[in-house]
Structure 1
Amino acid sequence: MAEAAHNKEPFILFEIKDTVFGVRSREVRHIEMVEQITPVPNAARFIDGVVFTRGQVVPAVNLRARFGLDRVPYDLRTRFLVLQAEDRVLGLIVDTCREFVALDQGAILSPPEEIAGQSGKFLEGIVRQEDRLILILNVAEIIKHSGAEELAGLADIPAALKKTLPAGEMSASRGDSAPA
């Protein structure tokens, strides 16, 4: 137990439709406000365009659209997370990103079987922190797979979790309105 307490890793947390997601901070190059996105003709429906940031052109993926959720207008809380896995870079547009936490590696659980199918490969694990669940994304897999059909099922993960967790495990205050 004492060894697990020292096995913490920093994560950056962000939200999409009241669901908290996390990525390892070492996979995040930087975070910025969404300012100017240049549309790209004939791009996939979830790619809002490209952003020129820090001397590099980065594809801007709207994570809501990529997860099969309704788009919302950008606001002052919307953030652009620039991620890197190996030599590939991708930017994610998320609803909000304002938290940096150290999570115990031993507390990260494998996703339940019910969500471990096609879309589950993009989910590395789940961790409970206080009154919330944090879905840990596998950045390398998200960057590697570009097909929308592979990621569309992620929108169903919060509903699938509600079915597999005992009553009261997910806080009702989180406001997830996905049908169970």
Structure 2
Amino acid sequence: MLDNLNDSEPFILFELAGTTYALRSYFVQQMEMIEQITPVPNAAPFVEGVVFSRGQVIPAVNLRVRFGLEKIPYNPRTRLIVIHAGSRTVGVIADTAREFISVPVSTIQPPPEAISGLSSKYLEGIVTLGERLVLILNAEELLNSAEIEE
């Protein structure tokens, strides 16, 4: 049906610790390789520092650390995903990011009520793509964290 084609949204998919996450593509400004991160004193543990990207200095947030996962060294697949929502721009660090897909809105499920804490704060929905579950993140909530200091 043509109506179903019009009722889909584009997402950028990325991975952290073997789990696939998604962000609505209109929040994503660009994706790039990690080059140099300048540490910032007294920043939250998940804020790696700041990066200079396309003429602006932005905080770089390690999503592994933010989500309570083990921190790993960067490699050539590690990506900085620059997100802009509201008045904030932040770079989030992911293990890998290379997929762009369109998801029918009707296939997005709300997060289970049993999920609580930080997980539910950042989780907007869940979608099944083939054999994998994809967790859709709420970019606005991710960037609204008062702990991220620019």
Query: Shorter chain as normaliser: what TM range?
Result: over 0.9
Whole-angstrom distance in 1 between the partners of 2:111 and 2:21: 13
Which residue identity does 1:143 align to in structure 2? L
Which residue identity does 2:32 align to in structure 1? E
| Structure 1 equivalent of residue 24 of structure 2 | 24
Q: Deviations over 1:133-168 (max 9, x none)?
A: 1000000001112349xxxxxxxxxxxxxxxxxxxx
Task: Please list every run of 5 or more consecutive structure 1 residues that lacks an aligned counterpart in the other structure.
Answer: 149-180
Question: Relative to total residues, which structure has the larger helix share, 1 or 2?
Answer: 1
Question: Relative to total residues, which structure has the larger strand share, 1 or 2?
Answer: 2
Whole-angstrom distance in 1 between the partners of 2:93 and 2:117: 25
Classify the secondary structure of the residue corresponding to 1:145: coil
| Structure 1 equivalent of residue 78 of structure 2 | 78
Task: State the shift of 1:102 in Å.
Answer: 0.4
Return 24-33 or 117-126, whichever deviates more: 117-126
Whole-angstrom distance in 2 between the partners of 1:81 and 1:6: 26
Task: State the shift of 1:119 in Å.
Answer: 2.9
Whole-angstrom distance in 2 between the partners of 1:45 and 1:57: 19
| Structure 2 equivalent of residue 115 of structure 1 | 115
Q: Deviations over 1:72-113 (max 9, x none)?
A: 000000000000101210110000001000000111000011
Task: Please list every run of 5 or more consecutive structure 2 residues that lacks an aligned counterpart in the other structure.
Answer: none
Q: Which has the higher contact order (CA 8 A, sep 6+)?
A: 2
The percent of aligned pairs where both chains have the same amino acid is: 53
Task: State the shift of 1:50 in Å.
Answer: 0.1
Map of 1:1-180 to 2, 5 A cutoff? 3-147=3-147
Runs of 4+ in structure 1 deviating by more than 6 angstroms, as ranges, are none
Number of residue pairs aligned between Structure 1 and Structure 2: 148
Which residue identity does 2:51 align to in structure 1? V
Say what the alpha-carbon RMSD is for the aligned residues.
Answer: 1.5
Return 78-87 or 114-123, whichever deviates more: 114-123
Whole-angstrom distance in 2 between the partners of 1:98 and 1:4: 25
Whole-angstrom distance in 2 between the partners of 1:142 and 1:107: 23
| Structure 2 equivalent of residue 156 of structure 1 | none
Which residue identity does 1:24 align to in structure 2? R
Whole-angstrom distance in 2 between the partners of 1:5 and 1:42: 48
Which residue identity does 2:142 align to in structure 1? I
Classify the secondary structure of the residue corresponding to 1:120: helix
* TM-score, normalised by the number of residues in structure 1: 0.78
